[in-house]
Structure formats: structure tokens, C-alpha cells
């Protein structure tokens, strides 16, 4: 009996000893002949993925939530990108000689054309309110909302917020008895819990993918927008999923899918549903989102900076600049102050301070503690409204 036979018997005994455990092992091989990847199952149990015996599962979650997920198609008017013919190697002199301008298509550069885009959304009220991403409906001149039964309706924007990437649209003349999604509480989430994503990637309607909640509180930058406090999941999220729900196995929405990492597998992001509810509520009530504003530019506190500022601590947010006419300016904060707490919550770095302020409300009074020339001081500051020039792009 050779060593391969011994190993084979050992593996069989080991797998048998698992005794009904739900386990699936995959071996990924490369087919040299066909130059393709093949997935060969080594062992699998009969238990389906993301199903708990006697409890919630992905199938029931999709049946509950799926009807409230819509497809959103938009049309916008954009200025086409006109190539500069003179930039073609060796052609600049030719075009300037005959046309007097390197851009042969210059006469048409002022023309505009229609651009179509697609995304997803979630119905949140019986009267036809739908939450989606701001980037899904950005600059749209026409919005079409398609229900799960393929009924199409025109939609209009109620409000949109660039900073959070949240928008609310309304179905014009909605049908009766619209299915409505249940919105959960993202403060209760735990890393590792199973989730599903529903949307319309590449216009494949009501596509469902499954995975787990991979991380909380992620910060990313995409398309010039700084996203804060995102949920990360390995459930596949593709173009067209934007605005669709991320849900738990009860079919309760825990987030709104918003971004993916290009050229990476298993890395998608969603906006926590508590943020969505806060922004959507204000958009519905006022048509726009008012973010709280302190009015400083800040940086990290290093040991050298702390020594220079005579600051006895090594954690905090250094005030680099106080914006004129801001709440910080009116309160007397100065460049060189080191903020160490807000309303008793410790501030370790600028990110902490930004997170704390973002969670507060416009007009709310906050107690800010800071060091100035080695002395611990405190001021009460009333938060203002973040200027539109900072919020929108």
C-alpha cells in the first residue's frame, strides 16, 4: 500500500468523522487544454447554503423582500467627448494645415446626446416612495421605475444628497397595494452574519447573490466621493446593483448597495440602513439634506506637533484652520487647538471627530474639549449647516 493510498484512507475517515456537518470544500484547477478554470467539488453535504433548519433562510428572505425591489432606468443629457484629431501622432500638422484647427469635430463640440443608465431601488412606502443611490438618478431628465411584475411607471426625484449618495424618488400614479420593504437597524449588525443582495446587475432583473457581512465602518473614496461608515460584504455586487438592498435572512433591509472595488472579487459596499433612514426622512420632508458643520480644517496629532503645541496628550485632532463665519470661529476656536473630546466622547484623530459631528444634528449644542498651550479648555458650540459648496459636486 503506497503513501497515496494511506492519505486517501485518512481523508475519507476524516471527512466521515465530520458526521453531517455542513461543509463544502472546493478545489480550483486550471484546464490547460481549454485554458479555463474548473471547480471540482471534493465534498458537500445536502444542507443548502445560507439556510438554518427551522429558521430564516435566503429563499424566504427573497420571497419577502424581492417584490419591493425595483429596476430604475434613467435618461440624461450629456455632452459627448469629442476627440482632438491633432492629438493623433503625426496628424496634428495635417489637420492644422487644412482645417486651421487641430480638432476636426470642433463645430460639433457643443452638441449634446442622450445617455441611458440603470440601477436598482427599494420601495419604502405604499404611496410609491423609493430609495436609491444619488449617482443612479444624477442629472436624469427621465426616470422609469419597473416593478417585479414588469409594470413600468414614471418617477420623479423627491430629493437627493451627494454626500451620502442617497436619493428618494416617487412613482408617479403608483398602483394600489405596493409591496414595501422592512427597514432594519444597522446598529445591531455583527460581522460574519449571512446577507443577501438583490438588484439588477447588467440589467438582469431581480438577481440575488449571497454572502456574509465582512466588515463594518469601512471608509472608501469612489468617483471623488468620500464614503463613511460603510458595510462591507462578499455578496457579489455588480454595476446595476447600485441602490438595491442588502438584507439579512429575515428579508429585512440592513443597507443600500452602493460601490464595488474594481478588479476585485468579493468586495462590495453598502450604506448602513440607519444612515439611509436619516437622510431619506429629511429628503422627504425638505427635499435636501442638511449636514451638521463645525467649520474647521484639521490634521493628525504627531508627537512632534504635540511637543510644539505644548500639548500633554498624543491623541486628538489638530485644528489647522478655522473657517470664517463658521460655528468654530464664532465660538473662539483657534488654529493650533487640539480637540480631544466632543460631548464626552474621546477624539483620537480627525476621523473620530468627523464621525462624531456627522452623527449630530444641525442646531445641536455640543461640548468641545481641547488643549491650548498646555491647558485643557471647553467650549459649547452650536453646529451650523454644512455649506452647499462643500456637500455637492
Span 186-286: which CATH code? 2.40.10.10
Contact 37, 208 (CB under 8 A): no
**pLDDT-derived band of residue 153, with 50, 70 and 90 as boundaries?**
very high
Write down the pLDDT at residue 81: 59
Q: Tell me, what's the pLDDT at 38?
A: 34
Which pLDDT value is given to residue 20? 39
Lowest mean pLDDT among 74-78, 125-129, 188-192, 269-273: 74-78
| CATH code for residues 68-171 | 2.40.10.10
Segment 6-26 mean pLDDT:
38
Band (303; pLDDT cuts 50, 70, 90) = very high
Rounded to the nearest 5°, which phi and psi values hold at 174?
-70, 155
pLDDT at residue 110, as a whole number: 58
Mean pLDDT of the chain: 80
**Whether the predicted pLDDT of 104 surpasses 70:** no
pLDDT over 70 for what percent of the chain?
A: 75
Comparing 49-63, 93-107, 232-246, 335-349, the range with the smallest average pLDDT is 93-107
Q: What is the mean pLDDT of residues 187-196?
A: 94
Check residues 250 and 17 and name the one with the higher pLDDT: 250
pLDDT digits (tens, 9 = 90+) for 366-388: 999 999 999 999 999 999 998 87
Can you tell me the mean pLDDT for 256-280? 86
- Percentage of the chain modeled with pLDDT above 90: 58
Model pLDDT, residue 166: 96
Binning pLDDT at 50, 70 and 90, where does residue 19 land?
A: very low
Do 181 and 123 form a contact (C-beta atoms < 8 A)? yes
Alpha helices in the chain (DSSP H): 3-17, 58-65, 92-99, 134-137, 273-286, 303-308, 327-331, 350-358, 388-391
Spatial CA neighbour of 257 closest among 189, 185, 201:
201
CATH code linked to domain 292-391: 2.30.42.10
| DSSP H or E run through 378 | strand 375-382
pLDDT for residue 83: 53
Q: Of 348, 343, 367, which is closest to residue 301 (Cα–Cα)?
A: 348
Residue 42 has pLDDT above 50, yes or no: no
Q: Band of the pLDDT at 26, cuts 50, 70, 90? A: very low
235/91: higher pLDDT: 235
The pLDDT value given to residue 13: 42
Give the active site residues. 135, 165, 242
Angle at 73 between CA 71 and CA 74, to 5 degrees: 150
| For residues 197-225, average pLDDT | 85
How much is the pLDDT for 18? 39
Give the residue from 263, 383, 251, 252 showing the smallest Cα distance to 326. Answer: 383
Q: What is the pLDDT of residue 224?
A: 78
Q: pLDDT tens digits, residue range 108-117?
A: 555 677 788 8
Ordered by start, the domain boundaries in the chain are 3-44, 68-171, 186-286, 292-391
Average pLDDT over residues 289-312: 94
- Considering only residues 36 and 284, tell me which one the structure prediction assigns the higher pLDDT: 284
The per-residue pLDDT for 107 is 53
Q: Inform me whether the pLDDT recorded for 275 exceeds 70.
A: yes
Neighbours of 387 (CB within 10 A): 14
Task: Judge if 68-171 and 186-286 fold alike in CATH terms.
Answer: yes
What burial class does residue 222 get, using C-beta atoms within 10 Å of its C-beta: 0-12 exposed, 13-18 middle, 19+ buried? middle
Joined together, the cell numbers standing for residue 160 give: 437627493
Name 302's bridge partners.
Answer: none
At 36, list the grid cell: 479555463
Q: How confident is the model at residue 342 (pLDDT cuts 50, 70, 90)?
A: very high
Which one, of 375, 160, 182, lies nearest residue 286 by Cα? 160
Q: What's residue 41's pLDDT?
A: 35
Confidence of residue 45 (pLDDT cuts 50, 70, 90): very low
pTM of the model: 0.73
Residues paired with residue 297 on neighbouring β-strands, in sequence order: 321
Mean pLDDT, to the nearest integer, of 138-160? 94
The C-alpha atoms of residue 82 and residue 282 are separated, in whole angstroms, by 40
145-154: long-range contacts at Cβ-Cβ below 8 A with a sequence spacing of 24 or more?
145/70, 145/71, 145/72, 145/121, 145/169, 145/171, 146/70, 146/71, 146/72, 146/73, 146/205, 147/67, 147/70, 147/175, 148/66, 148/67, 148/69, 148/70, 148/179, 148/205, 148/206, 151/175, 153/128
pLDDT at residue number 103: 53
Contacts for 295-299 with beta carbons within 8 Å, 24 or more apart?
295/322, 295/323, 295/326, 295/327, 295/328, 295/329, 295/384, 296/320, 296/321, 296/322, 296/323, 296/326, 296/328, 296/333, 297/321, 297/323, 298/339, 298/350, 298/353, 299/350
pLDDT of amino acid 220:
86
Enclosing H/E stretch for 381: strand 375-382
Residue 55's pLDDT band (cuts 50, 70, 90)? low
Query: For residue 189, is pLDDT > 80?
Result: yes
Amino acid at each position: 500500500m503506497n503513501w497515496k493510498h494511506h492519505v486517501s484512507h485518512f481523508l475519507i475517515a476524516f471527512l466521515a468523522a465530520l458526521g453531517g456537518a455542513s461543509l463544502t470544500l472546493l478545489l480550483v484547477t486550471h484546464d490547460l487544454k481549454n485554458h479555463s478554470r474548473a471547480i471540482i467539488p471534493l465534498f458537500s453535504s445536502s444542507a443548502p447554503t445560507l439556510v438554518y433548519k427551522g429558521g430564516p433562510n435566503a429563499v424566504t428572505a427573497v420571497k419577502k423582500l424581492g417584490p419591493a425591489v425595483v429596476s430604475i432606468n434613467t435618461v440624461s443629457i450629456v455632452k459627448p467627448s469629442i476627440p482632438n484629431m491633432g492629438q493623433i501622432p503625426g496628424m496634428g500638422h495635417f489637420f492644422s494645415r487644412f482645417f486651421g484647427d487641430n480638432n476636426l469635430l470642433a463645430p460639433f463640440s457643443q452638441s449634446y446626446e442622450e445617455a441611458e443608465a440603470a440601477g436598482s431601488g427599494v420601495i419604502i412606502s405604499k404611496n410609491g416612495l423609493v430609495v436609491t443611490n444619488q449617482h443612479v438618478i444624477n442629472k436624469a431628465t427621465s426616470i422609469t421605475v419597473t416593478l417585479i411584475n414588469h409594470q413600468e411607471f414614471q418617477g420623479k426625484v423627491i430629493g437627493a444628497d451627494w454626500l451620502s449618495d442617497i436619493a428618494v424618488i416617487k412613482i408617479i400614479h403608483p398602483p394600489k397595494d405596493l409591496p414595501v420593504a422592512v427597514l432594519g437597524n444597522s446598529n445591531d449588525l455583527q460581522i460574519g452574519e449571512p446577507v443577501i443582495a438583490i438588484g439588477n446587475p447588467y440589467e438582469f432583473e431581480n438577481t440575488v447573490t449571497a454572502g456574509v457581512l465582512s466588515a463594518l465602518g469601512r471608509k472608501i473614496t469612489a468617483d471623488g466621493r468620500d464614503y463613511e461608515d460603510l458595510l462591507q460584504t462578499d455578496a457579489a455586487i455588480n454595476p446595476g446593483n447600485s441602490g438595491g438592498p442588502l438584507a439579512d435572512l429575515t428579508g429585512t433591509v440592513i443597507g443600500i448597495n452602493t460601490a464595488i472595488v474594481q478588479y476585485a472579487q468579493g468586495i462590495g459596499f453598502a450604506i448602513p440602513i440607519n444612515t439611509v433612514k436619516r437622510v431619506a426622512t429629511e429628503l422627504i420632508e425638505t427635499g435636501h439634506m442638511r449636514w451638521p458643520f463645525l467649520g474647521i480644517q484639521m490634521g493628525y496629532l504627531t508627537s512632534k506637533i504635540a511637543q510644539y503645541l505644548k500639548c500633554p496628550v498624543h491623541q486628538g485632532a489638530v485644528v489647522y484652520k478655522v473657517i470664517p463665519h463658521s460655528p468654530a470661529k464664532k465660538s473662539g476656536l483657534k488654529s493650533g487647538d487640539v480637540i480631544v473630546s466632543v460631548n464626552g466622547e474621546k477624539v483620537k484623530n480627525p476621523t473620530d471627530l468627523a464621525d462624531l459631528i456627522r452623527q449630530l444634528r444641525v442646531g445641536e449644542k455640543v461640548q468641545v474639549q481641547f488643549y491650548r498651550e498646555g491647558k485643557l479648555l471647553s467650549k459649547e458650540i452650536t453646529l451650523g449647516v454644512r455649506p452647499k459648496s462643500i456637500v455637492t459636486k
